[in-house]
Amino acid sequence: MIEADIHVGDELPGFELTVTSTVIVAGAIASRDFMPAHHDSAYARGQGAPDMFMNILTTNGYVSKFITDWAGPEAILKKIAVRLGGPAIPGQPLRFSGQVIGAEDRGDERVFEVTIRAANDLGDHATGTVVVSLPRKSDS
């Protein structure tokens, strides 16, 4: 993706994450989060949750992947701001969607604001905005 191909109003290609216990545990441990709610279903249910659930670091990680899978390896994330909703739990696919809502030049970069939503059948898991930049081509 190059910056000239991105316009305000563009929708990002959708991404559906199959959420399994393994996906949740792998993300939790890779992010060094050993809280039992992120790997122990019985513990999580005892705390009132429907099942073990994805930790926030992993949610942010998938938001980052969702953005850079679209924007490409020259993309640099400036901000990931999310409001957290219902849990991401095994057996509930998480559907990511997004739309470009702003674009401006800053120095040698073009900076985009993108709204994102990750939702499952329980409702919104995370909604918010990501700020991401791509290098500007020289004007020559």
Partner 1 sequence: MAEDEKDPVRDSLEGFIGKPMGEGALAPEEVNLPMIRHWVDALDDRNPVYLDEAFAAETRMGGVVAPPAMLQTWTMPSPVIAGIAERGGAPTAMKSENVVTALDAAGYVGTLATNSELEFVRYLRPGDRLKTTSALESISPRKRTSLGLGYFVTWITTYWAGDDEVVGTQLFRIFKFDPSTLGGTA
# binding residues, partner 1 (CB under 8 A): 37
Asked whether position 137 contacts partner 1 by CB under 8 A, the answer is no
> How far is the C-alpha of 94 from the C-alpha of 118, rounded, in Å?
6
Q: Kindly state whether residue 79 participates in binding partner 1, applying the rule CB under 8 A.
A: yes
Q: Is 82 in the site for partner 1 (CB under 8 A)?
A: yes
Question: Is the CB of 37 or the CB of 100 nearer to partner 1?
Answer: 37
CA angle 30, 36, 40 (to 5 degrees): 100
Parallel, antiparallel or unpaired: strands 109-120 and 94-106: antiparallel
60 lies in the binding site for partner 1 (CB under 8 A):
yes
Q: Which residues pair with 16 in a beta bridge?
A: 95
- Spatial separation of the C-alpha atoms in residues 89 and 86, rounded to whole Å: 9
Backbone angles phi, psi at 107, to 5 degrees: 60, -130
Instruction: List the one residue from 19, 37, 94, 116 that touches partner 1 (CB under 8 A).
Output: 37
Among 10, 69, 113, 124, binds partner 1 (CB under 8 A): 69
Write out the two tokens for 69.
């899978």
Residues that bind partner 1 (CB under 8 A): 26-27, 29-37, 40, 43, 48, 56-58, 60-65, 68-69, 73-74, 76-84, 135
